Structure 1
Amino acid sequence: MNKQEAISKLKSEPLAVEPDQEFEVRRMLPEDAWGVARCFYAVYGEHYPFDTYYIPDKLIRENENGNVISVVARVGGGAVIGYGALYRSSAYFPGTYEIGQALVLPEYRHTFAALCMQDHLLELLDSIEDVHELFGEAVCNHVISQKLMVLAGLEETGLELGLMPAEAFNDLEFPGSRVSTLLGFRTVRDRAHDIYVPGEYAGALEFIVSGLDVSRNLLESRGYIHDSSTELVPQYIDHAHVARFNLNRAGEDLPQVHAGTEEEARNRKARVMQVFVNLGDPGSGRAVELLRGRGYFFGGFLPRWFDTDGLLMQKLDTLPHFESIKLTSDRARRILDLVREDIERNPACRYLLGK
């Protein structure tokens, strides 16, 4: 079954679920996968950007190979009224999973279904050895998802400015302003290691790392560049106009390699570019120096992004309204300050400030 065939079948089977039934939450079984597709179609129509959730066989395979760990909320008779997951997304290290993709049918949004699914996913962590680190991206146009992130034990580590297109949201306070997301991480299985800290961000990284339950030895990055070639892995999220690049290794050819990936991103109409710099690489300082000179600014700290840790550098075509960024904690507000301060002191970011 392909997406077109799945959508045709979904249109012929409209989902109607009586409200106020008792529900159970469990790990998804193969027989639940069509119910998940019906749930996604009921909430998103045919416009959810990832085909996997409309095609039962694909979702089952992704669970079998460990790329996705799915849970469902089911009422009597087997109808799926909610879905949530841990899944491998943008991190270079396969042991770092994102928690999200949660959706609940409108008839059950007044219940604790979303919270119950999140709790069930967290209960699974000890039994799933593949999961070493957990992260989430909480939207900042409201604070509900940030509160859920805190309940899941994730600590704030970064802020992705303007990550999500305004068109994906209704009733924004600042129409047309892209929506920012707060990054949070939770360590499941820590691994003590050294990280090489670019001097420009020593204070920022010391502040963020000191608030985490991790064992790290912070060393100064002295600008060593590998004799071997750069390893820069792109990921294009075209529907959101986002380009992401995992910089696992900075080599002497980094300026040329990065310029080529930026050109490809522009050709794909990316409005947000993110480079995740491997802090386990002694050349991280030189990489950050290059990126800052090309208009990138600080985004945050990413535990175990490469198995070693990562540093988010980001570049936008225009800034979102800072007043649109709603944050619940002093720590998150301090991270926003760190981001703004780096924009203001980087001469290559003057284009964002109208200077």
Structure 2
Amino acid sequence: MEISLKLENDIRVIQPAVDFVYRWAVDCGLSEKEAQEFATAFDELITDIVLFAFEDKGEFFVLLSDSLSQLEITVHELGEPFDPERHRYSIQKVLNENNFDGAGFEVIGNLVDDFIYLYKGRAGKEFRIIKEIKHKHITQILTEKQLSTEPEKAVGYQISPVTEEDAEDIARLIYRSYGYTYPKEDMYYPDRIVNALRQGKKFGVIVRTDRGEAVGYFAVIMSTDSNIGEVGEVVVFPRHRGKGIMKMMMKALIDMAKNKGLLGLFGEAVTVHTISQKVNAKYGFKSTALVLGFFPYAKYKGFEHKQQRISVVIDFLPLKERKQLKIYLPEEYKNILKDIYRNLGIDVENIPVRKSPQLKERSKIELQINYRFGNAVIVVKKYGKDMLDRVAKKLEALYKKDIKGIYIDLPLDHPYVKQAVPQLKKMGFIFSGLMPLFHNERDFLRMQILREKLDFRHINVFSDMAKRIKRFIHREMNKNGIPQKG
């Protein structure tokens, strides 16, 4: 959930805003002490903005967002330029010169888990403060004996929709099946599973033996900005694989998604192996993109694989028929995009552009950073004259933060995409694929920059379309002189 606030640089707004943040933080799962620390950090930040960022009247924007594991506040303002690197707090300056410059930022950094500053040029300044939500790991709830005891052989299986009461059994099933290697860390915390279900962030099914032991789990995570979902959490206990459990769960999930009115489902299938891709293909999912190095290296239990960042294939299952579509296809990628659409059963008409499109001054761009995975997605919601300049500024900031995988999503329903692609290629972006209905029920072209070498021989893809996309990307990298391993 996200909450947006627009505040004036008036000292009278500070206390009500801080009180609201405190109450919000408690409601989202922080203890009263942690919420007070978070609110105090926010107080320090916006007080500095109100008192020092503007010469005259102005306004700034606050975005509150929560996930299952953390709270984040983003503050964006267009006040006077400021470089925090030139105002670092120094205890020596305090003792020797009575100089407290930078003390406010030092206080904020000590009260939160992460404090991030982004200078965005003409787009202003952005501050982010992050506080982790502390939940109990499944290993803190159950004993080693309870965790290591394997489910008995079953005579039969029962499938049912997941409820909050299933959370502990799901976390135990994840731990029993994967140890500590499952990539979605939230799944080891029953309280986070409960919160996700309670907030409608996901829905799923659980399979139990005739003795009531959980041996299968599969869930759809709802997209935050479009009416689609990700088949993103799945586990079948090793001893019970090959019994038709995966088939049973996938069919149930697709039926549930249709009943909920979702427009489509997608999967991010890792290329360490092709098992997930094969399952997706069996149920009608079509490959639309290859996202290089999306996750950091992790050892997958039962698989030996190259120690490099993990790429994913985007597989998409349309749940509502779209037979024809008129969009703008960039010249560089029009043929492969047509093939991807054709594979989805969609006949595409490429709209010609005879003159430069009229653009507003400001673009609408969102930046999604995952520091744990070392990746960032730039989502262009609306093109503007400043788009390329803003993307360049974001790239510069992301490079400084050592973000490894950077991806940009471009809407295909506006003619400017044809002008934007050649310019983005000059910045180092290459093709990734099609992201159907990914934001606001619109189709997007994804391009990518990976700042680590990959050995393409260890990127395993299954479908013919995924193989074509992989070859296309590999050729583009070779043509652009992008270094690779191997």
1:73 corresponds to which letter in structure 2? V
Q: Any conservation in 2 of the 1:173–1:324 contact (CA below 8 Å)?
A: no
Q: 1:13 to 1:259 in 2, by over 3 A?
A: farther
Query: How far apart are 1:14 and its partner, in Å?
Result: 2.5
SS of match in other structure, 1:194: strand
Counterpart position of 1:32: 166
Q: Residues 94-243 of structure 1 correspond to what in structure 2 (within 5 A)?
A: 94-129=226-261, 131-169=262-300, 175-190=306-321, 193-214=325-346, 216-220=348-352, 224=357, 226-243=359-376
User: What TM-score results when the alignment is normalised by the length of structure 2?
Assistant: 0.65
Query: How far apart are 1:315 and its partner, in Å?
Result: 0.7
Query: How far apart are 1:163 and its partner, in Å?
Result: 2.5
Query: How far apart are 1:162 and its partner, in Å?
Result: 2.6
Q: Which has the larger radius of gyration?
A: 2
- Unaligned segments of structure 1, at least 5 residues: none
1:184 corresponds to which letter in structure 2? D
Cα distance in 2 between the residues matched to 1:168 and 1:225: 49
1:20 corresponds to which letter in structure 2? K
- Among 117, 141, 145, the alignment partner of 1:9 is 141
Cα distance in 1 between the residues matched to 2:378 and 2:282: 30
1:246 paired with 2:388, answer no
Counterpart position of 1:335: 469
Q: 1:62 to 1:232 in 2, by over 3 A?
A: same
User: What TM-score results when the alignment is normalised by the length of structure 1?
Assistant: 0.86
Q: 1:177 to 1:47 in 2, by over 3 A?
A: closer
Query: How far apart are 1:194 and its partner, in Å?
Result: 3.1
Cα distance in 2 between the residues matched to 1:51 and 1:331: 31
Counterpart position of 2:12: none
Cα distance in 2 between the residues matched to 1:78 and 1:251: 57
Query: How far apart are 1:239 and its partner, in Å?
Result: 2.5
1:83 paired with 2:236, answer no
Cα distance in 1 between the residues matched to 2:137 and 2:153: 28
Query: How far apart are 1:148 and its partner, in Å?
Result: 0.4
Instruction: Single out whichever of 163-172 and 142-151 deviates more from structure 2.
Output: 163-172
SS of match in other structure, 2:165: helix
Instruction: Single out whichever of 58-67 and 330-339 deviates more from structure 2.
Output: 58-67
SS of match in other structure, 2:327: strand
Q: 1:108 to 1:94 in 2, by over 3 A?
A: same
2:380 corresponds to which letter in structure 1? L
Q: 1:209 to 1:159 in 2, by over 3 A?
A: same
Counterpart position of 2:153: 20
Q: 1:178 to 1:220 in 2, by over 3 A?
A: farther
Instruction: Single out whichever of 254-263 and 146-155 deviates more from structure 2.
Output: 254-263
Choose between structure 1 and 2 for higher RCO, CA contacts under 8 A separated by at least 6 residues: 1
1:256 paired with 2:256, answer no
Q: 1:238 to 1:78 in 2, by over 3 A?
A: farther
Counterpart position of 2:452: 318
Q: 1:284 to 1:123 in 2, by over 3 A?
A: same
Query: How far apart are 1:232 and its partner, in Å?
Result: 1.9
SS of match in other structure, 1:344: helix
SS of match in other structure, 2:460: coil
Query: How far apart are 1:179 and its partner, in Å?
Result: 2.8
Query: How far apart are 1:17 and its partner, in Å?
Result: 3.7
Instruction: Single out whichever of 34-43 and 22-31 deviates more from structure 2.
Output: 34-43
2:215 corresponds to which letter in structure 1? I
1:126 corresponds to which letter in structure 2? K
- Among 289, 292, 301, the alignment partner of 2:422 is 289
Q: Residues 31-50 of structure 1 correspond to what in structure 2 (within 5 A)?
A: 31-45=165-179, 50=184
Q: Any conservation in 2 of the 1:161–1:319 contact (CA below 8 Å)?
A: no
Q: Any conservation in 1 of the 2:231–2:266 contact (CA below 8 Å)?
A: yes
Query: How far apart are 1:41 and its partner, in Å?
Result: 3.3
SS of match in other structure, 2:437: strand
Q: CA RMSD in A?
A: 2.8
Counterpart position of 2:95: none
Cα distance in 2 between the residues matched to 1:141 and 1:68: 25
Counterpart position of 1:279: 412
Cα distance in 2 between the residues matched to 1:333 and 1:247: 28
Query: How far apart are 1:185 and its partner, in Å?
Result: 1.0
SS of match in other structure, 1:175: coil
Query: How far apart are 1:172 and its partner, in Å?
Result: 6.5
SS of match in other structure, 2:336: helix
Instruction: Single out whichever of 46-55 and 261-270 deviates more from structure 2.
Output: 46-55
When the two structures are aligned, how many residues end up with a matched partner?
Answer: 348
Cα distance in 1 between the residues matched to 2:416 and 2:278: 37
Instruction: Single out whichever of 226-235 and 168-177 deviates more from structure 2.
Output: 168-177
- Unaligned segments of structure 2, at least 5 residues: 1-28, 30-132
Counterpart position of 1:344: 478
Query: How far apart are 1:313 and its partner, in Å?
Result: 0.2
1:164-213 deviation per Cα after TM superposition (whole angstroms, max 9, x unaligned): 33334368666323332222111112456532211221112112112212
Q: 1:213 to 1:276 in 2, by over 3 A?
A: same
Q: Any conservation in 1 of the 2:150–2:176 contact (CA below 8 Å)?
A: no
Query: How far apart are 1:66 and its partner, in Å?
Result: 3.3
2:193 corresponds to which letter in structure 1? L
